[in-house]
Every structure is written in structure tokens, then in C-alpha cells.
Amino acid sequence: MVVELELKKCTDRELRFYIKDRDKHSLPNLIAKLALRKKGVVYAAYIIDHPLVSDPEVVILTDGSRHPLDVLEEVLRDAISMAKEFLREFDEALAKYEAREKDSANSESG
């Protein structure tokens, strides 16, 4: 997945950027939701002016105790960690499922 970005504004307290991708909600929503959990963040959201013709604009505002770029970096690290953990959990669930299916098939044939 190649994502194109356009930086709109970057100050000590405010970060605004556009994500140019066909999926207009998944990544911006994840970034905004995770940013809201971070200390020093006073506002985080994404805005789509028009769903058919606009790219989502992600906005992160801080109280000044943290630079919004630092928040974004932390959010992206958290998202990667969450994805890795999800994959581990899914692999475990799949292994358990396959073992149950194998046991079920063996008990039906035996």
C-alpha cells in the first residue's frame, strides 16, 4: 500500500496533513483515535470536506508540552505494535482452529 501525503501545516502545537489514498477512513481514523490517547493532545480528528472529491485531512493539536510530530511518530509506532500483536493473536487462533478441525475430522473418520 503506497500512501501519498501532503503537509498542510506544522507548528509547535498543530499538525495538519492530507492522506491521498482510496480508502479515506481507515488510516486517518486510526491516527486520530490513537493520538487522542496521548498526553498533551487536546484535539485529534480527521476531516473530509466531500467524500467523493476530498482527501482526508488529519489534524493533531497539542497543549504545547509536546510537538505534534512527536505524537504522530509515537502513534505510528503504536499502530505497528498493535498490528504485530493482532497478527500474533490471529496466528494463535488459526492454529487452535486448525487443530480443532483436524481433531474433528479424525474423530469422524475413525
| pTM, rounded to two decimals | 0.86
Q: Where are the domains of the chain?
A: 4-109
> What are the pLDDT tens digits along the chain (110 aa)?
678 999 999 999 999 999 998 889 999 999 999 999 999 999 999 999 987 889 999 999 999 999 999 999 999 999 999 999 999 999 999 999 999 999 888 888 76
Instruction: Give CA separation, 56 vs 10, 82, 107, in Å.
Output: 16, 23, 53
What was the pLDDT predicted at 104? Answer: 87
What was the pLDDT predicted at 107? Answer: 83
What was the pLDDT predicted at 27? Answer: 96
The three three-digit cell numbers of residue 71, written as one number = 505524537
CATH level 3 topology of 4-109 = Gyrase A; domain 2 (3.30.1360)
What was the pLDDT predicted at 110? Answer: 62
Angle at which helices 26-36 and 68-109 cross, to 10°: 110
What was the pLDDT predicted at 68? Answer: 98
